[in-house]
């Protein structure tokens, strides 16, 4: 019998009255799926997909414990008994698959993102110390409201216990209210809740005692805390560890993370992008585990089962949070346990449809697995009633997804790609600095094609004659886009090139470069960073308010940090006009005044893409059914291309 490659990952773990069947956890994360502050069918279906996929523990997203805890307009609330029924259905669903269910109990303090009606909300904190990120000036809590909030933790825990959940987790991480009490640079109180650590711990201790008093002896009570806020004014790792030592008698585990919601730099660690190495918090967790007797959980870019196994094997933690890995592939645990590691769809930490959707106030998903968050619609593939012969033309992410879904439904599918490799623009994206992991989307979708037994033909450019010979029942056009190159006044004094030419190393740019960035995504900043790494002096001219304006926030802020560290000049509100005499001319998009860069060797155009869709007209009348997807339909991002592919594959 072959030994398991994951001897630690699939060991059970007893925590008080709960037996976790393995060491894989889905950490608490907002989904924007709930409605009216309550658990609904969409949220239950979302978590059931992960429970059915074999995860040992699900910690459901934050549940507010007091009316002042509403930090977004779409969060769960546990302040009334009407929440119990939804949580009961969620618990029963998870338990049916052998998965334990905890809930996070939450108060943000001053970390208020938005109000429900567009008005600024009154935020409460230990002291009148401002939040930098959301520009919130809180009101200091008085004793009456402190007592109300502490009682709210107890009442919320009682409701979770009554609903049949296995435990709750006090959220003292990321600069939220309990952490604000712990932090002496935020908590400036002079009463029994401020000053020495024993006083600053009082709020968390009272909340934990209220939770325990409202539940039962076998009910699990955990604590989530940041092992350092990664911020100048944040909680330090030493302060967090000492707090955990003193609170340890009141908790059954400590869940270690990093960062704070209070600053842009600290918030990046809430959902770290691909620029951070895998399992980068394992050493922090190990320090806590050495100092504590209760189990220690850890998260932080643990994307693959072998990474989690390494964390467990070295004794850094007892349980690994693998949330984005499970968003990307709900079946990751069972695939790992069965040894089907090649079948795992690995998260690439793009942040685009998970936390990126949350920050836009729309339901969670995944650019590689758009079924996520749409389980009620796409959770189960419907077999085709009449198998069709299908040609998919174009082997980028959209075409690959369409082919895999169509074939999995029972259609006879051939995917044609003109180039020698599948992947489309993802092949270029992975060449940008700190974006190599984006190429994982190609690896993952290629495996989906193999599993669905799609016939793949590379190096063949499809024309109408080939389609007429093949006589397909349906064609999916996924022919992508090309760089948009507008007519601009120019002479030969400045070399004008596009981003694709730079990435393909088809041009030499010279020493002084202007990058004109219309799209405000990661291409313009990535090209700028690439050229600076090559020794160029670069000015990034952005037709927006700031670089990365369209990107997920933590990706944007990580990019901003790199641009600053590398000394790349940034000019916002800049519309490209033209170039001559070694000068690049732009126009301020609001003042309409000129912006001039002199002595420039090369102008790099990052101005978006135009659709490549000529084949549609050529196929008119030849094929009964034609679907356009991805950039050939309308140039957007990989997320839309893959989702278009899912929809087309499901509709055939």
Q: Are 169 and 255 in contact (CB under 8 A)?
A: yes
Residue 1 has pLDDT above 60, yes or no: no
Residue 4 has pLDDT above 90, yes or no: no
Give CATH 3.40.50.720 domain extents, the chain: 380-483+611-651
Q: Are 559 and 547 in contact (CB under 8 A)?
A: yes
Q: How confident is the model at residue 115 (pLDDT cuts 50, 70, 90)?
A: confident
**Other beta carbons within 10 Å of 11:** 15
380-483+611-651 belongs to which CATH class?
A: alpha beta
Q: Is CATH 3.20.20.70 correct for 13-324?
A: yes
Q: Which pLDDT tens digit goes with each residue over 263-309?
A: 999 999 999 999 999 999 999 999 999 999 999 999 999 999 999 99
Question: Using alpha carbons only, what angle is made at residue 587 by residues 582 and 591, rounded to the nearest 5 degrees?
Answer: 145
Q: How confident is the model at residue 595 (pLDDT cuts 50, 70, 90)?
A: very high
Q: pLDDT at position 569, please?
A: 97
As a three-state string, the secondary structure of 225-242 is EECCCCCCCCCCHHHHHH
Q: Which pLDDT tens digit goes with each residue over 405-419?
A: 999 999 999 999 999
Q: How confident is the model at residue 57 (pLDDT cuts 50, 70, 90)?
A: very high
The predicted model gives 372-382 an average pLDDT of: 96
Q: Are 72 and 61 in contact (CB under 8 A)?
A: no
Helix H segments across 248-393?
Answer: 264-267, 282-291, 305-313, 323-328, 332-337, 355-359, 375-378
Q: What are the Cα distances from residue 590, in Å, to 541, 545, 573?
A: 14, 11, 7
Q: Which pLDDT tens digit goes with each residue over 483-504?
A: 999 999 999 999 999 999 999 9
φ, ψ for residue 378 (rounded to 5)? -120, 10
Q: What are the Cα distances from residue 430, in Å, to 394, 420, 590?
A: 19, 17, 34
Q: Is CATH 3.90.1200.10 correct for 495-607?
A: no
Give CATH 3.50.50.60 domain extents, the chain: 495-607
Please give the full DSSP string across 142-195, using - where no structure is assigned: PHHHHHHHHHHHHHHHHHHHHHT-SEEEEEE-BT-HHHHHH-TTT----STTSS
* Percent of the chain whose predicted confidence (pLDDT) is above 70: 100
* Residues composing the chain: 652
Which range, of 1-10, 92-101, 416-425, averages the lowest pLDDT?
1-10
Residue 2 has pLDDT above 80, yes or no: no
Q: pLDDT at position 118, please?
A: 83
Give CATH 3.20.20.70 domain extents, the chain: 13-324
Q: Which pLDDT tens digit goes with each residue over 66-113?
A: 999 999 988 999 999 999 999 999 999 999 999 999 999 999 999 998
How far is residue 503's CA from residue 428's CA, in Å, rounded to a whole number? 7
Q: Which pLDDT tens digit goes with each residue over 544-559?
A: 999 999 999 999 999 9
Residue 359 has pLDDT above 80, yes or no: yes
Q: Which pLDDT tens digit goes with each residue over 186-238?
A: 999 999 999 999 999 999 999 999 999 999 999 999 999 999 999 999 999 99
Tell me which residue of 76, 56, 43 sits closest to 10, measured CA to CA.
Answer: 56
Query: What average pLDDT is seen over the chain?
Result: 97
Q: pLDDT at position 114, please?
A: 83
Beta-sheet strand order (sheet of 574-580)? 574-580, 583-588, 594-597
Handedness of CA 226, 227, 231, 232 (dihedral sign): positive
């Amino acid at each position: 019998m072959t030994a398991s490659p994951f001897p630690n990952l699939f060991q059970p773990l007893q925590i008080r009255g709960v037996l976790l069947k393995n060491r894989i956890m889905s950490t608490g994360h907002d989904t924007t799926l709930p409605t009216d502050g309550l658990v609904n069918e969409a949220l239950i279906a979302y978590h059931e997909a992960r429970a059915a996929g074999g995860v040992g523990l699900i910690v459901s997203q934050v549940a507010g414990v007091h009316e002042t805890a509403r930090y977004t307009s779409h969060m769960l609330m546990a302040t009334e008994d009407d929440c119990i029924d939804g949580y009961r259905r969620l618990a029963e669903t998870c338990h049916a698959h052998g998965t334990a269910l905890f809930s996070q109990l939450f108060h943000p303090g001053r970390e208020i993102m938005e109000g429900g009606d567009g008005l600024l909300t009154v935020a409460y904190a230990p002291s009148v110390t401002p939040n930098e990120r959301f520009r919130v000036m809180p009101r200091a809590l008085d004793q009456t409201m402190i007592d109300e909030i502490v009682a709210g933790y107890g009442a919320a825990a009682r409701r979770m216990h009554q609903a049949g959940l296995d435990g709750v987790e006090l959220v003292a991480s990321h600069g939220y209210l309990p952490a604000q009490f712990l932090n002496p640079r935020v908590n400036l109180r002079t009463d029994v809740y401020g000053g020495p650590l024993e006083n600053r711990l009082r709020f968390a201790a009272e909340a934990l005692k209220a939770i325990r008093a409202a539940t039962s002896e076998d009910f699990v009570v955990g604590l989530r805390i940041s092992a350092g806020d990664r911020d100048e004014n944040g909680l330090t790792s030493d302060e967090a560890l000492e707090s955990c030592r003193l609170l340890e008698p009141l908790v059954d585990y400590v869940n270690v993370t990093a960062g704070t919601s209070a600053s842009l730099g600290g918030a990046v660690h809430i959902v770290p992008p691909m620029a951070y190495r895998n399992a980068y918090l394992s050493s922090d967790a190990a320090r806590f585990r050495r100092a504590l007797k209760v189990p220690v959980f850890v998260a932080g870019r643990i994307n693959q089962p072998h990474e989690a196994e390494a964390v467990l094997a070295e004794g850094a933690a007892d349980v690994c949070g693998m949330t984005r890995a499970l968003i990307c592939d709900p079946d990751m645990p069972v695939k790992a346990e069965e040894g089907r590691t090649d079948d795992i769809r690995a998260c690439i930490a793009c942040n685009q449809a998970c936390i990126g959707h949350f920050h836009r106030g729309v339901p969670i998903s995944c650019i590689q697995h758009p079924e996520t968050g749409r389980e009620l619609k796409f959770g189960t593939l419907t077999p085709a009633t009449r198998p069709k012969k299908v040609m998919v033309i174009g082997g980028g992410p959209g075409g690959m997804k369409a082919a895999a879904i169509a074939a999995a439904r029972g259609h006879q599918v051939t995917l044609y790609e003109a180039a020698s490799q599948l992947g489309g623009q993802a092949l270029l994206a992975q060449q940008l600095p700190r974006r190599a992991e984006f190429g994982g989307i190609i690896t993952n979708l290629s495996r989906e094609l193999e599993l669905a037994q799609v016939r793949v033909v590379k190096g063949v450019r499809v024309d109408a004659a080939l389609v007429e010979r093949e006589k397909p029942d349906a064609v999916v056009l996924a022919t992508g886009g090309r760089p948009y190159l507008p007519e601009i006044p120019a002479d030969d004094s400045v070399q004008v090139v596009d981003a694709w030419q730079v990435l393909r190393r088809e041009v030499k740019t010279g020493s002084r470069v202007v990058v004109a960035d219309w799209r405000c995504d990661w291409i313009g900043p990535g090209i700028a960073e690439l050229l600076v790494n090559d020794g160029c002096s670069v000015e990034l001219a952005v037709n927006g308010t700031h670089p990365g304006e369209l990107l997920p926030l933590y990706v944007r802020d990580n990019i901003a940090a790199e641009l600053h560290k590398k000394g790349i000049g940034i000019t916002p509100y800049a519309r490209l006009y033209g170039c001559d005499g070694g000068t690049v001319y732009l126009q301020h998009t609001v003042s309409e005044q000129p912006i001039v860069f002199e002595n420039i060797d090369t102008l790099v155009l990052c101005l978006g893409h135009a659709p490549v869709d000529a084949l549609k007209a050529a196929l008119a009348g030849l094929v009964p059914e034609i679907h356009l997807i991805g950039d050939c339909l309308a140039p957007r991002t990989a997320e839309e291309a893959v989702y278009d592919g899912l929809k087309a594959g499901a509709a055939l």
